[in-house]
Amino acid sequence: MSVRMALPLPLVFLLMIHGVSSAGWGVSYSPSHICALKDSSVIMNCTYTYPIGYKIEKVFWTKEFIKSEEPPDLSEDPEYSQRLQYLGDEQQNCTIRLSHVTLKDSRMYYFRFITNITGGKWIGDPGVTLAVTDLQVESPERVTEGDSVRLTCKSSCTLTDRATFIWYRNSQPLTERRDRNNELLLQSVRREDAGRYSCAVHGHNHISPAVQLNVMYPPKNVSVSISPSAEIVSGDSVTLICSSDSNPPALNFSWFKGGTFVGSGRIYSISKISSDDSGEYKCKSRNECGVTYSDTVPLNVMYPPRNVSVLITGSGEIVSGDSVTLICSSDSNPPALNFSWFKENESSAVGSGQSFSALQSGRFYCQAHNQHGSQRSDAVTVTVHHGAGRNVIVIAATSGGLFIIIISIIIIIIIFTIKKKINRRSAIHECENDDPSADTYAALDLRSRSSDLYDTLTTVHPRPAVHQPDSSEYENLSPHSKTPR
C-alpha cells in the first residue's frame, strides 16, 4: 500500500509546478485577452482537463495567484459575488459570466480546481486577461463653418465583440447604427451642427461623456431695434442697438449714417435728436471669423414748422379791383397742412390756407401748423395807394428791397406827370385848326367810335364845348402859337 502511494507523489509534485502540464492536467482560456465595455457583461470561456480516475471536488475562479497559498474564491468576494455566475460544470467546462464590469475589474483571472486525491489541485496559469474600457469622444478644439470635421469614439482597448457605434447630438441619436465605424464625419460643417456629441455601442447601456463641438462662424442676421420704436420727435433721446448671431460673439461694432462713420459700440445713443440726425443707419458687426453689415434702417425725426416765410406774388402796379397773393412756406415734418393768416394788431385770423389774397393795406403774417407745433412768419407790408381814376397797389416787404421799391414809385410818378403834360399840349395843338371839321377834330370825334370806348373816354375826360376865338384873343399870341390865352 505504501509503495503504491509513493509512486503518485512525485508526479503530483511535478504537476503543481508553475507552467507545467502533463498527464492530462490543464486549463484553457478562449480568448486569453478580453476587452470589454464598461457596464457590460463578460463571458470568460474556459475548459479544463485532469487524469482519469480523479474526481472533482471543488472548482472556482480567483483574481490572485500566490504560490504556496490557497487563492481566494471570487464567489465569496463581496465585490464579485452578486455579479459572478458560473456557467460550467465539474467535469470539463469552467466558463463564467461577470456582469456590470467596471474599470476596477481590469486584471488577470484564474480558474482553480481541486480533486479528491490529496495534492490533486490545479490552477490555470497564465489566466485570462480582462481589460475594461469606457468610451471617449475625440473632436477638434476649433472648427470653423465650412470645415470638414471628424469625430472619433475612442476606447482604451480594441473591443473583443463586434461593435456597432451609435452617435448622439444633444442626447438625440443622429442615426440608428454605424457598423464597425467609430468615426463620425461631418462634411462642410454648419453652425447647426454645433452641440454636445456622445457615442455608444449598440446593445450596451454605456454612453460616453458628451463633448461640445463649437462651430465658429462670422456674424449673421445683423440687425438694428431703434428705441423708442414709436414716432421720434425732435428733442427726444434715441438709442440704436446692433444685434447679431455669431460665434465667438462679436465684440466690434461700427455705425454708419449713409456712408459716413458716426460711432462705435454695440449701442449708439443720440440725446436731444434733431432733424439733422434723420437718415439711413446701419451697423457693422465683426468677430475673428469675418465682418457683416446690417440692412439700413430709416431714422425719421418729426419736428414742428420752422423757417416760416411769406412769398409775395403779383407785385407792381395793380389795376383797381385786383389783389396781391401771399404764399406761406415752411419746413416741417410731417409737412404743415394747416395755415392761418393774421393782420398785425388784430387778434382773429383774416384767412386760412397756404395762399392768401390781400385786398387792403396792412402788415400781414402767416402761421404754419402740424401735430408737433406751430410757428409764425415775419410780417410783410401791403400798401394801397389811391390815384386819379385808378388804385395803385404797391407792395413793400419789411426787409430788403425797400430802396428799390421807393425808386420805382418815384419813376412811376415822374412818368405819369410827363404823360399828363404831353396830353395837355396835344389838346392845345388841336385847337390851332380854324376849321372844326378838319381831320384832327374828325379823328377826335369820339361819337364815331364804338359806344364802349366813347363812353369810357367821355367819362374820364368830358369833351369841352368848341369855342371860336375872336381876333382880339390872338393879339398876345406868340408868332409860333395860336393857342388862346
pLDDT at 267: 96
Amino acid at 36: A
Q: Which cell is 260 given?
A: 459716413
Cα separation of 72 and 63, whole Å?
8
* Chain center to CA of 302: 24
For residues 442-451, average pLDDT: 40
The torsion angles phi and psi of 213, rounded to 5 degrees, stand at -100, 115
Contact between 247 and 194 under an 8 Å Cβ cutoff? The reply is: yes
In the predicted structure, residue 329 carries a pLDDT above the cut 80: yes
Angle, vertex CA 328, rays to CA 323 and CA 331, nearest 5: 165
Which one has a higher pLDDT value, 47 or 21?
A: 47
**Residue 318 binned pLDDT confidence (cut-offs 50, 70, 90):** low
For residues 352-370, average pLDDT: 91
**Residue 417 binned pLDDT confidence (cut-offs 50, 70, 90):** confident
Q: Which cell is 355 given?
A: 395762399
**Residue 120 binned pLDDT confidence (cut-offs 50, 70, 90):** confident
Contact between 254 and 227 under an 8 Å Cβ cutoff? The reply is: no
In the predicted structure, residue 477 carries a pLDDT above the cut 50: no
**Residue 287 binned pLDDT confidence (cut-offs 50, 70, 90):** very high
**Residue 403 binned pLDDT confidence (cut-offs 50, 70, 90):** low
For residues 38-67, average pLDDT: 91
Q: Where are the domains of the chain?
A: 2-132, 139-213, 228-299, 303-399, 431-474
Give the rounded percent of residues in the chain with a pLDDT score beyond 70. Answer: 75
**Would the pTM count as exceeding 0.75?**
no
Q: Ranked by mean pLDDT, which of 314-318, 380-384, 400-404, 456-460 comes out on top?
A: 380-384
- CATH for 303-399? 2.60.40.10
**Residue 288 binned pLDDT confidence (cut-offs 50, 70, 90):** very high
pLDDT at 315: 60
**Residue 413 binned pLDDT confidence (cut-offs 50, 70, 90):** confident
pLDDT at 469: 44
pLDDT at 451: 41
179-211 pLDDT, tens digit each: 457 889 988 999 899 999 999 998 888 999 999
Domain boundaries 2-132, CATH class? mainly beta
pLDDT at 109: 96
- Tell me the average pLDDT of the chain: 80
pLDDT at 155: 93
Q: Per residue, what are the HEC states of the chain?
A: CHHHHHCHHHHHHHHCCCCCCCCCCEEEEECCEEEEECCCCEEEEEEEECCCCCCEEEEEEECCCCCCCCCCCHHHCCCCCCCEEECCCCCCECCEEECCCCHHHCEEEEEEEEECCCCCEEECCCCEEEEEECCEEECCCCEECCCCEEEEEECCCCCCCCCEEEEEECCEECCCCEECCCEEEECCCCHHHCEEEEEEECCCCCECCCEEECEEEEEEEEECCCECCCCEECCCCEEEECEEEEECCCCEEEEEECCEEEEECCEEEECCCCHHHCEEEEEEEEECCEEEECCCEEECEEEEEEEEEEEEECCCCCCCCCCEEEEEEEEEECCCCEEEEEECCCCCCCEECCEEEECCCEEEEEEEEECCEEEECCCEEEEEEEECCEEEEEEECCCCCHHHHHHHHHHHHHHHHHHHHHHHHHHHHHCCCCCCCCHHHHHHCHHHCCHHHHHHHHHHCCCCCCCCCCHHHHCCCCCCCCCCC
Domain boundaries 228-299, CATH class? mainly beta
**Residue 14 binned pLDDT confidence (cut-offs 50, 70, 90):** very low
Domain boundaries 139-213, CATH class? mainly beta
Amino acid at 3: V
22-39 pLDDT, tens digit each: 458 999 999 999 999 999
Give the rounded percent of residues in the chain with a pLDDT score beyond 90. Answer: 56
pLDDT at 358: 83
pLDDT at 202: 87
Q: Which cell is 90 given?
A: 465539474
